[in-house]
Every structure is written in C-alpha cells, then in structure tokens.
Chain A
C-alpha cells in the first residue's frame, strides 16, 4: 500500500528548544492513523510541518506525493485540517466561516454541510465571539468534514466536545474510513485512538517511540488473566504480578508465554477464565514511565 504521508528524520528547533528530534511517521492510504503523545510531545509541530506552516530544519517529508513546504497550495486542495485550538473571527458567523474555509479549499458539499450541522447540533448563525470552545471546534470540524478531500489532518479535534458529540465524531471518522479516506488523528485520549485507529504512532520528545497496528503493539505487552480454578494452584511459572487468593488467581503474562501459562491452569482445572488484552493506556504508560525514571 502506498504512503500518503512519510516523514523521516524530521527535526525542528525553535531557538534552543527542539520540538521535533528526528521524527519518523508513515501514514498509509485509506487508514485512520492515531498520532499519540502527551502535551508538548511535538504532535502539533509535526502537523504544522506537514501543512507547510513550519519549515523543517532537517529530514525529509512528503505528503500526497508532494513536498509539504514547496507544494503547499496544491496539496492543500486535497486535504482538510482541524486545529486543536480553534479561534474564529469575532464578527463572522459560524456558517460564514464554514463556507469560507470550504470555498478556499475548493468547494464543499451543501447537503453534507447541512447534515453535519444537524448532527453536531451547531447553530451556524452565532458570531465567532459568542461560541464556546466546543462550538468553535464544531465549526472547524463541520468545515473540514464537509470537504471532499483525500486526507484529513485532525489535531486533537475532540477537545472541548461533550461525550455525545464525541460519539458523533467517532461515527464521522468511521464513515471516512469506509469511503477510503486517509486520516491522521492526533490525540492524547487513548480510548478515542483505540476506538478509531488502524495503526498508531506514539511520539515522545519529538521522536517516534512506537509504531504499528494495535495488534502489533499489543504483541509486545502482557495479557491479564483472571481465573477461578478447581483447586488451589501450587504456584505458576513464567507469569508476572501473580496473586493467589484461594482458588482465584490473577496474573499477567507475556504473549509468548501465554500457552505455557494456560497449560498450567488447565492442569489444575479451570472453572471460569477472563483474559484482558493490554489496553493502549498500559502501552502508553510504559513509555512515559520509562521517560520519568530516566
């Protein structure tokens, strides 16, 4: 599959601070790619380099087959962008901003626009200064989602949205995926990424620390097993964080050791068993825990 975005070794410094420190990122055509990292990790800087708003100091990037800096205007016809912190012109109504941004991008579908305004429960007549943060976000989302483009760059697009609207947003991303559009979704909300994304890149301090499908990432981590056994087990080998409470056991086990661990359980006799795959959160925390201990 071809890459819609590929960045390698991208470095960006602002004075003495290094925002991006050799970042690599590959987003394939037709996938929803989660871009995960804590505040200040360089997510927004990456997106702004892709938009040609910032010029990288080193490394190479290409997007939709072009150079993000040199071919900015041409590339922008084929993408839509939602910033993390949307500011609107105080005197323009939400509807005007949606139409303006859509037209500047090359036109937007009026039916889709009306449908999205309805679904997001947005009043397009209010002036920019009268919107709350969540409603400003909706204006930018409607403007982006109503555009017929190949690539969506969404920078923490759900910040400020309430849970109902987050659900609407999730539906919309599902529709985009079904239509074969490519989405780069930056977020620090793990549940959101887990729900929506095919592949994930985790970045920290301007560097990609992990990238792959959720399954691949999970493979690197441990599964949590909770079981009620026929009798009390006599200790278990090759497992971690083992807790035995009468006939009940709870432990974590690496994916490669799962088979051996289950054999030991069945030798005692299993009454009930639940297995929990690792959450993205655990994955995530592991990376940051290691950063803190450094």
Chain B
C-alpha cells in the first residue's frame, strides 16, 4: 500500500475537472427534481394525482423503480431514480481508468518501479471513487436535510453513495480480469446492465424477487422519505466488502499488466477478405455492434413481456385509460409503455452512433489512421468505412430492439403478427433523430476535430431536456432544439413525415460537411 497517498494525489490531479463535474451534477439531481415537481404541484391533492398518474405508467417503474410514497421528497427521489445508475457507471469507468488503463498503457510499470506498493494503485483508485460517492451522498443529504426529515435525507444520501461504491468495487474486479481496458469496461458495464435489468424485471413483472439480486435495488430499499428501512445497509456493506476482497485477492495472484483471462493468439495470416477499409472497419466495429445488439435484445425482450403485464393490469381501469389518452399516447397502456421505453432506447442508440462515428477520431489520434492513409486508401474511402457503421449500426441495433420487443410482447399477448410490425416501426422511427447525432459527430470530426467531445455534451444536454425540461418549464424553443422532441410517440401515436425527413436531411448534410472538411485538413 506504500505510495497510495501519492497516487491519490495523481488521480485527483488528472481528474480535477471531470470528477467534480460528475459528482456535483449527479448529486444535485434529487433536489432539482423535488423543487421541479414542487413547482408544478403545490397541494397534497395535486401531488397525489401526480403520483397516481405516475403509478399507472409502468414505463416509469422500469426506469426509476417503484414509487413508494406520494409526498414531495419521495416523488423527487423516485423521479431521480436513474441517477444512481449513472453514478454507478461513472464509478465503474473511473476505477478502470485508473487501474487497468494505466497498466495497459505501461504507465503503471513506470510507477511500479518507484516506491509504490503492489496494491497502491487499486487502493488509490478505490479511495478516490469511494470518496467521490461519499461527497455526492453528503451533498444530497445536506441539500435535503434542511427542508425535509433528516432520516429520509440520510437514506437518500446513503442510497446514492453506497450504490456508487458497490459499482466502484465491481469495476475493481473487472479491472483484474482482462489485459485490455476495453475488455474490463465491457465486463463492468455488463454487470451494471445486468443489475439494472434485474431491478427492472423485478419492478415490472410478477417475479419481484429478481430485484433482490440487484445492488441498485438495495439502495432503493432504504426507502428514503417512505418509511426508511436501514437493514439493506448491511446488504450493501457486505456486498462492497466481499467484492473488494475479491478484487484484492485477484490482484495479488497476477502479474502487472497480465489478466486472469489469458490473451489468445490470432491468425498468422489475414483472411482473404481483410483487404480494404470496409473490411477493416467491420473488424473494428463488429464487437461493439454485436454487444449493443445483444444488450438491447435482452432489454427489449424484458420490456416486451412487461408491457403485456402492464396492459392487462390497467385495461379495466376506465379512469386511467381516459387519462392516458389525454397524455397523448395511444389508448393502449402497453403502447404508451413501449413508446416511452423505445424513446429511451433511441437516446441510448444515439450514444452508440456517436461512439461509432468518433471511432474515426480515435483511430486518427492513436496514429492508426496514418499507416492506412499512407497506402492507396483515399481519405474518403477510409472515413466511409466507419461512417457506414455510424449510419447502419444504429439501424441494426434498433431493428434488433424492435424485433425483441415485438416478439416478446406479441408472444405474451398472443398476437405476434399485429404487434411486431408496430414495435419495429416504433424502433426504426427513432433513426432520424439518432442519425442527427451520427452526422453531428462526423461534422465535428471533419471540421473541428479537437471538439468532438461536444457531440457527447449535446447528447447529455438533450437527455437532460427530456428528463427535466418540462418540469423546469424551459422554453419550448429551447426544448425543440433536441431531435428527440420531434419524434412521434410510437406505437399508437400519430406520425408526421416532415420532421423525420428534415432530420434525415440535416444528418446527411452534417455528414457530408464532415467528410468534405476531413479531405481538406491536416491529419493528426
């Protein structure tokens, strides 16, 4: 452990911008949600009505977890229910960034030759990320304790902090398993996805015991402002202790830079097909594309089967049916449920679109583009290979999603023929909005390559618009900037071709501008 203190300082120095941003941004979400809801619904009766309408929309259980109480603080905490997942994601990625990434790059070796103990870098990463989560928890407790009961504020802070730390520990285990950082990220993010899926399945289907397998759900079972329960703390603490112990045990058993999963040898010669920029792009993109397809297929199947349960529970409630109609969706609660979740998928797939498009920039800045462009491959030819995946990749992921939702919903409802085309259409209708992000990322790559991260910033901003825009009563002109605000509510809603065609045209124009700019600029 020698040298841990120095490494902690190094991590804080390297992350001095990004770390405070995610801690602060996520920690103020609960109080933001509470004041937003409080601004719209001031009386008890209004809050109860709001809670009732939320309870009748199973899509929200899927995203946020069960709504346990109708009072304002409980509603706000519930509405911010997705934030701990983001906190967990940031924790996983930060731990891997300061452990396996360092080893893979060889920087760990440089440090290891100085007076640094063998567990120092893992310990330092865990200390920093755990502290970040504790600070996030303290901000949450502090921001709520003044106005609302202290017990609830404390439970909310503990919920966030411990879920974050639990996934920091999972990240620490993932970092021991593979030699490559990308492999560790896949394992860590898959674990998070599984935990979310288990919680979602437990909260939306009859198999409610499933959520007991998910650390994300344990945080919610502290029931902040809804009759706090403290014993899940023991569950979380035990999970964190065991997972950390596993990480240290694994770390002690392996060499620096080695993984537990040994790397495999590849072929000594390339297959005959590996002969052009498109073939190389397929090699570089296929893993990511298949992972997205597989992940969304699983989520899609769970949502499809939950949709049928939701519709049969609500169909005989005339009052709620009428309210759902007024909300603008179709008459069918299952349609509304599916439409809401497919909208969330659309945002997720936009992330994939950006990731695929920015592969160009990654290849360029890692100097892997240079040897290719020094052969008889034109710049446009090289960029087109990756562009193809930024355009058709999201289409493939959404097709798989629509297929999975449609098949599982259709199978549960006993009418695949009717539901499959509807869910496929709903999923593919997201494409124009998704493509605007492909186009945006390509335009940045070609014209402003140093600012490609702006594509992610805009996606995060529009995600925020969708989550809190209406609650914060932001001006409509601002909200209209988001491509997602122009998408139809499908299945069930009405479709107008104009915005879809316009968004596709904008996406194409952005992509062409990007490729044009890339042809003319310096590489590097």
**Chain A residues within 8 Å of B, Cβ to Cβ:** 48, 51-55, 72-74, 76-77, 79, 81, 83, 85-101, 103-106, 124-127, 129-130, 140, 153
A45 CB to closest chain B CB (Å) equals 10
Interface status of B229 (Cβ within 8 A of chain A): no
CA distance A55 to B373 in the complex (A): 14
A188 CB to closest chain B CB (Å) equals 19
Q: A100-B274, A103-B270, A129-B104 are in contact. List 19 more A-B contacts (CB 8 A).
A: A73-B377, A79-B374, A87-B366, A88-B368, A90-B182, A92-B266, A93-B266, A93-B268, A100-B275, A101-B371, A104-B275, A104-B372, A124-B268, A125-B268, A127-B263, A127-B265, A127-B266, A129-B179, A153-B374
B242 CB to closest chain A CB (Å) equals 31
A51 partner residues in chain B, CB cutoff 8 A: 370, 373-374
Contact code string B336-374 (vs A, CB < 8 Å = 1, else 0)? 000000000000000000000000000000111011111
Q: Which size bracket describes the interface of B in this complex?
A: 35 or more
The 5 nearest A-B residue pairs measured at CB? A93-B266, A99-B270, A104-B375, A81-B374, A96-B270
B457 partner residues in chain A, CB cutoff 8 A: none
A130 partner residues in chain B, CB cutoff 8 A: 179, 263
Contact code string B84-127 (vs A, CB < 8 Å = 1, else 0)? 00000000000000000000100000000000000000000000
A89 to B287, Cβ gap below 8 A?
Answer: no
23 A-B pairs with CB atoms under 8 Å apart are A53-B370, A53-B373, A53-B522, A72-B378, A73-B378, A76-B377, A79-B374, A81-B371, A85-B367, A87-B368, A95-B268, A96-B267, A99-B269, A99-B270, A101-B375, A104-B275, A104-B276, A104-B277, A104-B376, A104-B377, A125-B268, A126-B266, A130-B263
Interface status of B226 (Cβ within 8 A of chain A): no
Task: Check A87/B376 contact, CB under 8 A, given A93-B266, A96-B266, A100-B274.
Answer: no
Specify the chain A residue showing the minimal Cβ separation from B270. A99
A97 partner residues in chain B, CB cutoff 8 A: 270
Task: Check A89/B371 contact, CB under 8 A, given A96-B266, A96-B274.
Answer: no
B427 CB to closest chain A CB (Å) equals 29
Specify the chain B residue showing the minimal Cβ separation from A103. B275
Main secondary structure of the interface of A (DSSP, over half): mixed
Interface status of B523 (Cβ within 8 A of chain A): yes
B266 partner residues in chain A, CB cutoff 8 A: 91-96, 125-127
B264 to A77, Cβ gap below 8 A?
Answer: no
Which among A83, A95, A106 is the interface contact of B270 at CB below 8 angstroms?
A: A95
A155 CB to closest chain B CB (Å) equals 10
Interface status of B9 (Cβ within 8 A of chain A): no
Interface status of B504 (Cβ within 8 A of chain A): no
Task: Check A53/B180 contact, CB under 8 A, given A101-B375, A103-B275, A127-B263.
Answer: no
A4 CB to closest chain B CB (Å) equals 16
A87 to B265, Cβ gap below 8 A?
Answer: no
A156 CB to closest chain B CB (Å) equals 14
A263 CB to closest chain B CB (Å) equals 56
B263 to A48, Cβ gap below 8 A?
Answer: no
A76 partner residues in chain B, CB cutoff 8 A: 374-377
Interface status of B524 (Cβ within 8 A of chain A): yes
A92 to B283, Cβ gap below 8 A?
Answer: yes
Interface status of B49 (Cβ within 8 A of chain A): no
Which among A72, A95, A103, A104 is the interface contact of B267 at CB below 8 angstroms?
A: A95
